[in-house]
Amino acid sequence: MVSNYKLLIALTLAAISVAAKASDPTRPYGWSPTASENGTTQQRQLTLTQIISFGNNSYAIIDGQRYQLGDKVGNYRITAIESQRIRLQNDQQELELTMFGKKIKKRSAINGGG
């Protein structure tokens, strides 16, 4: 009888351990954490889902949040909102998020032109 309880406890602990490593079903589509060199989690990849234009005003929906030209997204600032893409920039690089493409174009070394 005691060995049955030990077995039940061992199986329960194993199930909890496996469940803790499972992916979060509530995470946004396309999101995945990436580990940096020191093991901490870096900022996740940004997902552009919609661009809205009203006259001279344009808004970008990124990861469910509304942004406009000049707004800060993470450590980037929005520098352009076009009909199918947006551009973001920080001191080190420029990103281009497109509506229908899943890739992010990165241009590093802004001062060096590369």
Specify if 30 maps to a domain. Answer: no
**3 or 31: whose pLDDT is higher?**
3
Domain that holds residue 91: 48-108
Mean pLDDT of 40-57: 78
DSSP 96: E
The domain total for the chain is 1
> Does some domain include residue 88?
yes
- SS3 label, residue 87: strand
Confirm whether 18 is domain-assigned: no
- pLDDT score, position 88: 94
Question: Regarding predicted confidence, which is higher, 59 or 104?
Answer: 59
- Residue 79 counted as domain residue: yes
| pLDDT tens column, 70-95 | 999 988 999 999 988 999 999 888 98
The whole-angstrom separation of Cα 23 and Cα 21 is 7
What's the rounded Cα separation, in Å, for the pair 74 and 55?
Answer: 27
Q: Identify whether 103 is part of a domain.
A: yes
Residue 73 domain-assigned (yes or no): yes
Instruction: Say if CB 77 and CB 68 are below 8 A apart.
Output: no
Q: Is residue 38 part of a domain?
A: no
**Mean pLDDT for the stretch of residues 43-54:** 83
pTM of the predicted model as reported, rounded to 2 decimal places? 0.53
Q: What is the average per-residue pLDDT within 12-29?
A: 64
pLDDT of residue 38: 45
Reduced to 3 states, what is the DSSP secondary structure of residue 86?
A: strand
